[in-house]
Amino acid sequence: SSRQWTELFGVTLTSSEIFRRGRPASASVAEIRLFSSVEDTDSLGRLNFRHRVQNEKETLARMCDERAEMIEYQFKVSMNNMKTSLPLLIKIHQRGKNPSAIDQ
């Protein structure tokens, strides 16, 4: 467990030290929650820890993908609004002007 903690965050702390000192700045709440649930000597716990970390990473990646899709959709809607409103604004602006010499 200590080794896993060192690999993840570059600090060596036992679980009791973690809760006494608080978490290192580089550790997220989810990572602390995952780390604190792993038994020191349980190899199945280590496997479970890695599996849960992988699941957390996949969840975060899905959330990022969903956010990117939402931003892309908002951008497309904004571009569509601009494409429809720009010609109308130009037409209104030109209507108020005197006709050019070519048009006369």
pLDDT tens-place string over residues 43-83? 666 778 888 888 898 999 999 999 999 999 999 999 999 99
Asked if 32 contacts 23 with a C-beta cutoff of 8 angstroms, the reply is: yes
Asked if 1 contacts 38 with a C-beta cutoff of 8 angstroms, the reply is: yes
Q: What is the pTM of this model?
A: 0.43
Residue 20 pLDDT grade (very low, low, confident, very high; cuts 50, 70, 90)? low
The larger pLDDT score, comparing residue 53 to residue 9, is at 53
Domain coordinates in residue numbering, the chain = 2-95
Q: Which helix (H) or strand (E) holds 32?
A: helix 29-36
Token pair of 49 as six digits: 């820890």
Indicate the residue type of 75. F
Q: How many CA atoms lie within 13 A of 3 on its CB side?
A: 6
Give percent above pLDDT 90 in the chain. Answer: 18
